[in-house]
Chain A
Amino acid sequence: MSVTKYESQLREPLVNGDKTYGQVTQDIVNTIEAKPTRLWYIGFYVSVALLMFGVYSVYREVTYGIGQWNVNRTIGWGWDITNFVWWVGIGHAGTLISAILLLFRQGWRTGVNRAAEAMTIFAVMCAGQFPIFHMGRVWMAFFTLPYPNTRGPLWPNFNSPLLWDVFAISTYFTVSLLFWYSGLLPDLATVRDRAKTKLRKHLYGVASFGWSGSTKHWQRHESLSLVLAGLSTPLVLSVHTIVSFDFATSVVPGWHTTIFPPYFVAGAIFSGFAMVQTLMLILRKVMNLQDYITLGHIEAMNKVIVLTGSIVGCAYLTELFMAWYSQVPFEQDIFFKYRIAGPYGWSYWLMMTCNVISPQLFWFRKLRRNVLFTFIMSIVVNIGMWFERFVIIVSSLYRDYLPSSWSIYYRPTIWEVGFYLGTFGLFFTCFFLFSKYFPVIAIAEIKYVLKTTGESYKNDMSTLENKEVDEFVHEMHDHHEEGAVKVVHH
């Protein structure tokens, strides 16, 4: 049988086991067709409970005012915006995997892209709650939209980074959603075609937009994917850049820093991959998808984590250097007296430990391929990245220019924490529903790479691998001429 592409056996397989197309479909669609497990129900109800608590926390805040939180005259933003930046950051891994890795033709993305994109969408949904509900008068939130009105017309302030956020986040959400959904179409059609009940057939039929699997459909689908990947790629860089502008364009010492855009983007990818790891490790275990999300996938993502973690570490050190080099006393004070030390010094060192020191352990291949270690690290990194945002926001604000206004110690109220927990509820509720009703791995894309990178197919490459170099080159040349390599399947 023929394959479209030769891949060296030196690259490890992306699909383990001896899989056929039918088996791939069966393995992945199984979770949709079978009744959910007890574990699924427990997880789902816990998530819904968290979501409800979050809804109540937000209800309190909207009804009684932001005074339900402990932010104050000096620390105007606390947990709210920390959580916002954290969630937005998490989303970035999904976009990076689906867009940039697609453009770079990284085959390993196929195992994780679907779930990672879903994570992006849910994370952005969670992120969006914070800038909306941190408003004192959330019922007037529509003032931020540039719509024609009878007040002059009165436009929003295009100089404000918060307004840029409105555009950046909404664009990001729209493009991510389109990308994710268009990728889902062939798989939804697969579920439709296998459906045994009328309702399921109907619902998946509607959801798959009449996908028939014709060549024309596939061709358009591929083109659309490329266009969306092209659109998403700059978003990976721009969204967090704009989020960082909220801080970088201000006058607050500790915020007013030109390094923020690259530093935030690296941090976002860092935390995003950590979150993908957390989710994937659970998913592959619970849904028995170890063959599709392999140690190779995990290792690849760990490599991204160690790279971006090191970039972030460099950024931290650069900040310190610049604070000293600038000779601006306010900058120096905030970094050297009130971040590294002072009442919030612990949060700085927690951030440093989680984000800079511990990911360095991923230089060891053994640890990169250790599932338990990776899982723990993925949590550690996300704790660290949460504290990074906390350090930037709170430890810059609490002691800024006028010592007279320095803040008392800021601790969140139960409703502030509740809002955060609520977004976890939202995230996991969505994710559980997604894992139940959607194929969590892109079936079509796995099939696309199956015959070059599937374990059993790779084994078949031995005949090619064993050839002399001259012969091999000749064969490959022929392959290019003919468009296919002939391999005999036993």
Chain B
Amino acid sequence: MSKHIQFESMLSLTGSNADDRYVHRPSEAGAVALALYAALGGAVAAPALADERLKKGIAQAAASLKASGSASVVVSGSNDANVQLVVNAINQLLGAYGNSINWGATLNTRQGDDAAMVQLVNEMNEGKIGALLIHGVNPAYDYFEAKKFESGLAKVAVSVSFNDREDETSVRCKFQIADHHFLESWGDAEPKSGYLSFIQPTISPLFKTRAFQTSLLKWSGENTSYGEYFKQYWLTKFGSQAAWDKALQDGVVETPAAAAAGSYNSAALAGAVAAIAAAKPGTGKEVVVYTKIALGSGKEANNPWLQEMPDPITKATWDNYAIISFATAKDLGIAVDDNYEVEVAKPVIKLKVGQQEMTLPVLVIPGMHKDVVAVALGYGRSEKTGKAAAGVGQNAYPLVGFNGQSFTYSVAGASVEGTKETFKLAYTQTHNQYEGRDEVVREFSLKEFKANPTALKDERHKLVEDYAPTTGDYRAEGTLYPNHPYPGAKWGMSIDLNSCIGCGACTVACTAENNVAVVGKSEVLRAHEMHWLRIDRYFATYRDDSGNDNLDDLNVVFMPMLCQHCDNAPCENVCPVNATNHSSEGLNQMTYNRCIGTRYCANNCPYKVRRFNWADYMGADSFPDNQRGKLDDSVMMMNDDLTRMVLNPDVTVRSRGVIEKCSFCVQRLQEGKLKAKKENRPLETGADGKWDIKTACQQACPTNAIVFGNVNDKNSPVSKIRNEEQTNRLFYSLEQIHVLPSVSYLAKIRNTDRHVGVAEAAHHEEAGAEHKEEKKAEAAH
């Protein structure tokens, strides 16, 4: 099993997936890399690090790396070239080049030159720039000295914006020539060398826009559209219509470069080491500005799906805020207790960084370095950006620094100060721990799992002994109700908690596929969010008895939670009108037009996955004026004629007053079954890699953690996982209450010697098996 060790300053999504994790000050990123280099035998003096836990972590990482050698890799997310040079030296020392690192396959994204940009802005201000063409960027918002860019832009004689919508930059340009939306565009890209990818329009342009490239062609005297030009170019390249058609259909042409075509150059190392050694560690609080998983740089801030997607770590929506440690909270006099948990009004602090001052609400999150305050970028867009982005959060780009070479995303010497104010933050999960309820979610350390691999099986066996002593059939004997047979297909899902990284792509995919309503901040504040699929994020332990950060035992586990389609569903028998019932294929179905909205089913759902339409979020109702002034603008935005085009025509739009929930993408199931029927063959649900049906979440999952299929088909991946491949890690959430879920989970295993989960640590000899170790050290940006 691979091993992932993370060094960072704040709890990132990557860090929360690490097997072991250590925190440092952002200003110590170079020192940590250097110390690791020294510990691995690099010819440098190890810098002095004060933190004992951090030192231990470096020693542990060095030992692991030495053991796994060239099979490991060290990467850093720092924007500081010196840190990257040291990391390169470490990889050279490990022998990673040519082994775990392929010289041939380069990543071609993020090639911007920070220094060149700063120079451009300076020259604009000096009046040296005559014309500026702007495409796909928005420096008036996301440049660290936006005001300076704006004043420079005013001095440029010809400024043209090709941005496809109005933003902070385009409104300041002399000319706006709107580009097509990317779904209306032709294009090509090579994100990774050797992988050509093709973009083709999925819709005719909705507005009178012109491709950016067509404009350039026109101005250069070529009177042809970009679509035509693009096609001719690639036709010539590929040589035949057939080859081009195939490339376009596949969307990608893969010609991976041969490995090992480069070499390591140690020339700059000495300078980098000297610079790091000379750097003084930061004092006071250090502010980290980071990009959120959903919103990134803020470019898509006007997409309400992303605004409403709960942040994987904080579970907050619709805002940015200052993330602080428990230690800082204590200093500020913020009690993180029951009250803090259930009250959406969060304390507000004043954050001072040099000349900059921000007043932000705080969220206290485990796993932070005690002196780090983290603020997300991508918020505080101007009013004109759109209804969803307007007025949401504050712009943190002014906190970004520039060190003469590149932008820096952390600043030392900051201070925080409490205020008497509060600010309401809309978050979807109030409680962070699973309170020792290992019936809900299971996690083990690799060591403990190996010591007792059948722990979960034994528990299931115990259930059979207790509740099905005569027949041994827990399903049939554990209930008074008759046991229903599922003669045809029986749908089931398996979710691997080890693969799940908690990114939330499934949540957004589900929202898009199933016309799940966006409800806006005012409604999320009242726990009215509509997500059919959510990711539960638990920290098993994160505070010691005195309430301080407990970094040693912090384990983050992500658990995608959706309707479990229970075969003995508690929601079904309580509905007075039979609006929710069970299909012969094991689906727990919702009949919206039968539902009268008593919400009894939602109360009785142990997984709390049922969602009620508290208002007419979708404009589906027969009461035309329901929405007026009662909901957030972003909700209204989802209902205007243009944005309604986003709705999936295969899925009913729900009216107010009815319950809805995950349907296992029943529209896709029906489509897949029809397809198989038309082709007169059995349904394929993944056996031999053939899929007639994939649920939206499964399709979106970047790590294939979600597998869906027919459990009656012995060859489908879902049956194989349950019955052959992963029988030891298999568990059902709340299996003991005999609701018989159709979603099974695979326990999370952490490759660490620490104790993980709630069960008492098993004291066994460590299993001798050697495992390859992948090592990842990420110094925070």
Task: Report which A residues bind B (CB closer than 8 A).
Answer: 63-67, 70-74, 76-77, 131, 134-138, 140-141, 143-144, 154-157, 159-163, 166, 246, 249-252, 329-330, 333, 342-343, 397, 399-409
Contact B576–A166 (Cβ < 8 Å) = yes
Q: How far is the CB of A245 from chain B (nearest CB, A)?
A: 10
Could you give, for residues 656-684 of chain B, a 1 whenever the CB lies within 8 Å of some chain A CB and a 0 otherwise?
A: 11110000000000000000000000000
Cα-based distance from A202 to B487 in the complex (angstroms)? 71
Cross-interface CB contact of A160 among B434, B440, B573, B611, cutoff 8 Å = B573
Contact B611–A73 (Cβ < 8 Å) = yes
List, in ascending order, chain B residues with CB within 8 A of A401's CB.
Answer: 437, 440, 606-608, 734, 737
Cα-based distance from A70 to B612 in the complex (angstroms)? 12
List, in ascending order, chain B residues with CB within 8 A of A409's CB.
Answer: 342-343
Cα-based distance from A143 to B597 in the complex (angstroms)? 11
Could you give, for residues 600-618 of chain B, a 1 whenever the CB lies within 8 Å of some chain A CB and a 0 otherwise?
A: 1011101110111111100
The answer, yes or no, to whether B578 is at the interface (CB within 8 Å) is yes
The answer, yes or no, to whether B599 is at the interface (CB within 8 Å) is yes
Known contacts A66-B612, A251-B570; decide if A137 and B595 are in contact (CB<8 Å): yes
Contact A156–B604 (Cβ < 8 Å) = no
List, in ascending order, chain B residues with CB within 8 A of A406's CB.
Answer: 341, 430-431
List, in ascending order, chain A residues with CB within 8 A of B528's CB.
Answer: 67, 72-73
Contact B656–A65 (Cβ < 8 Å) = yes
Cα-based distance from A238 to B414 in the complex (angstroms)? 67
Contact B656–A136 (Cβ < 8 Å) = yes
Q: How far is the CB of A57 from chain B (nearest CB, A)?
A: 15
Contact A73–B529 (Cβ < 8 Å) = yes
Contact B739–A251 (Cβ < 8 Å) = yes
Known contacts A66-B657, A162-B598; decide if A408 and B734 are in contact (CB<8 Å): no
Contact A403–B431 (Cβ < 8 Å) = yes
Additional pairs, 5, CB under 8 Å, beyond known A161-B574, A405-B607: A71-B599, A160-B575, A402-B606, A404-B536, A408-B526
List, in ascending order, chain A residues with CB within 8 A of B343's CB.
Answer: 408-409
Known contacts A66-B612, A76-B603, A404-B537; decide if A160 and B576 are in contact (CB<8 Å): yes
The answer, yes or no, to whether B141 is at the interface (CB within 8 Å) is no
Known contacts A329-B437, A397-B603, A403-B437; decide if A137 and B561 are in contact (CB<8 Å): no
Contact A252–B602 (Cβ < 8 Å) = no
Contact B615–A65 (Cβ < 8 Å) = yes
Cross-interface CB contact of B429 among A134, A162, A397, A404, cutoff 8 Å = A404
Of chain B, the residue at the smallest CB distance from A166 is: B576
Q: How far is the CB of B86 from chain A (nearest CB, A)?
A: 40
List, in ascending order, chain A residues with CB within 8 A of B630's CB.
Answer: 64, 67
The answer, yes or no, to whether B209 is at the interface (CB within 8 Å) is no
List, in ascending order, chain A residues with CB within 8 A of B174's CB.
Answer: none
List, in ascending order, chain A residues with CB within 8 A of B614's CB.
Answer: 65-67
Q: Give the number of chain B interface residues (Cβ < 8 Å).
A: 65
Cα-based distance from A155 to B575 in the complex (angstroms)? 12
Cross-interface CB contact of B338 among A137, A138, A162, A342, cutoff 8 Å = A342
Cα-based distance from A156 to B576 in the complex (angstroms)? 6
Cα-based distance from A72 to B525 in the complex (angstroms)? 10
List, in ascending order, chain B residues with CB within 8 A of A155's CB.
Answer: 578
Of chain B, the residue at the smallest CB distance from A141 is: B596
Cα-based distance from A170 to B608 in the complex (angstroms)? 31
Q: How far is the CB of B361 from chain A (nearest CB, A)?
A: 15
Known contacts A160-B573, A402-B561; decide if A251 and B737 are in contact (CB<8 Å): yes
Q: How far is the CB of A176 from chain B (nearest CB, A)?
A: 23
List, in ascending order, chain A residues with CB within 8 A of B534's CB.
Answer: 404
Known contacts A135-B657, A406-B430; decide if A250 and B596 are in contact (CB<8 Å): no
Q: Which 7 A-B pairs have the closest CB atoms?
A: A136-B597, A136-B657, A67-B614, A72-B527, A404-B536, A405-B608, A76-B599
Cα-based distance from A144 to B734 in the complex (angstroms)? 31
List, in ascending order, chain B residues with CB within 8 A of A246's CB.
Answer: 600
Q: Which of B385-438 contact A (CB under 8 A)?
A: 429-437
The answer, yes or no, to whether B37 is at the interface (CB within 8 Å) is no
Which of A134, A136, A342 has most chain B Cβ within 10 Å? A136
List, in ascending order, chain B residues with CB within 8 A of A65's CB.
Answer: 613-616, 626, 656-657
Contact B526–A72 (Cβ < 8 Å) = yes
List, in ascending order, chain A residues with CB within 8 A of B429's CB.
Answer: 404-405
The answer, yes or no, to whether B538 is at the interface (CB within 8 Å) is yes
Cα-based distance from A65 to B658 in the complex (angstroms)? 10
Cross-interface CB contact of A402 among B573, B576, B607, cutoff 8 Å = B607
Cross-interface CB contact of B608 among A134, A144, A249, A400, cutoff 8 Å = A400
Q: How far is the CB of B563 from chain A (nearest CB, A)?
A: 13
Contact A408–B344 (Cβ < 8 Å) = yes
Q: How far is the CB of A131 from chain B (nearest CB, A)?
A: 8
Q: How far is the CB of B316 from chain A (nearest CB, A)?
A: 13
Of chain B, the residue at the smallest CB distance from A250 is: B604
Q: How far is the CB of B422 from chain A (nearest CB, A)?
A: 13
Of chain B, the residue at the smallest CB distance from A164 is: B576
List, in ascending order, chain A residues with CB within 8 A of B610's CB.
Answer: 73
Cα-based distance from A252 to B734 in the complex (angstroms)? 12
The answer, yes or no, to whether B651 is at the interface (CB within 8 Å) is no
29 contacts between A and B (CB under 8 A): A64-B626, A65-B657, A66-B612, A66-B614, A73-B528, A74-B608, A77-B600, A131-B598, A136-B612, A137-B596, A144-B576, A144-B577, A159-B573, A161-B574, A162-B600, A252-B606, A399-B431, A401-B440, A401-B607, A401-B608, A402-B440, A402-B608, A403-B434, A403-B538, A404-B538, A406-B430, A407-B430, A408-B527, A409-B342
Cα-based distance from A134 to B598 in the complex (angstroms)? 7
Known contacts A163-B576, A402-B440; decide if A67 and B615 are in contact (CB<8 Å): yes
List, in ascending order, chain B residues with CB within 8 A of A252's CB.
Answer: 603-604, 606
Cross-interface CB contact of A136 among B596, B603, B623, B626, cutoff 8 Å = B596
Q: How far is the CB of A56 from chain B (nearest CB, A)?
A: 16
List, in ascending order, chain A residues with CB within 8 A of B356's CB.
Answer: none
List, in ascending order, chain B residues with CB within 8 A of A163's CB.
Answer: 576
Cross-interface CB contact of A403 among B435, B526, B606, cutoff 8 Å = B435
Contact A162–B574 (Cβ < 8 Å) = yes
Contact B600–A407 (Cβ < 8 Å) = no
The answer, yes or no, to whether B108 is at the interface (CB within 8 Å) is no
List, in ascending order, chain A residues with CB within 8 A of B597's CB.
Answer: 66, 135-137
Of chain B, the residue at the smallest CB distance from A333 is: B435
Q: How far is the CB of B533 from chain A (nearest CB, A)?
A: 13
Of chain B, the residue at the smallest CB distance from A73 is: B527
Q: How far is the CB of B39 from chain A (nearest CB, A)?
A: 39
Known contacts A64-B626, A404-B429; decide if A76 and B602 are in contact (CB<8 Å): yes
Q: How far is the CB of A391 from chain B (nearest CB, A)?
A: 15
The answer, yes or no, to whether B339 is at the interface (CB within 8 Å) is yes
Which of B343, B599, B602 has most chain A Cβ within 10 Å? B599
Q: Which of B680-733 contact A (CB under 8 A)?
A: none
Cα-based distance from A415 to B742 in the complex (angstroms)? 40
Q: How far is the CB of B338 from chain A (nearest CB, A)?
A: 5
Contact A140–B596 (Cβ < 8 Å) = yes
Q: How far is the CB of B454 from chain A (nearest CB, A)?
A: 23
List, in ascending order, chain B residues with CB within 8 A of A249's CB.
Answer: 574
Of chain B, the residue at the smallest CB distance from A163 is: B576
Cα-based distance from A64 to B655 in the complex (angstroms)? 12
List, in ascending order, chain A residues with CB within 8 A of B436's CB.
Answer: 329
Known contacts A403-B435, A408-B344; decide if A137 and B658 are in contact (CB<8 Å): yes
The answer, yes or no, to whether B523 is at the interface (CB within 8 Å) is yes
Cα-based distance from A429 to B623 in the complex (angstroms)? 32
Known contacts A137-B595, A144-B576; decide if A403 and B440 are in contact (CB<8 Å): yes
List, in ascending order, chain B residues with CB within 8 A of A72's CB.
Answer: 526-528
The answer, yes or no, to whether B594 is at the interface (CB within 8 Å) is yes
List, in ascending order, chain B residues with CB within 8 A of A157's CB.
Answer: 573, 575-578
List, in ascending order, chain A residues with CB within 8 A of B658's CB.
Answer: 136-137
Q: How far is the CB of A246 from chain B (nearest CB, A)?
A: 8
Of chain A, the residue at the smallest CB distance from B426 is: A408
Cross-interface CB contact of A143 among B536, B577, B608, B611, cutoff 8 Å = B577
Could you give, for residues 571-603 of chain B, a 1 whenever the CB lies within 8 Å of some chain A CB and a 0 otherwise?
A: 001111110000000000000001111111011
Could you give, for residues 499-539 of chain B, a 1 whenever the CB lies within 8 Å of some chain A CB and a 0 otherwise?
A: 00000000000000000000000010011110000101110
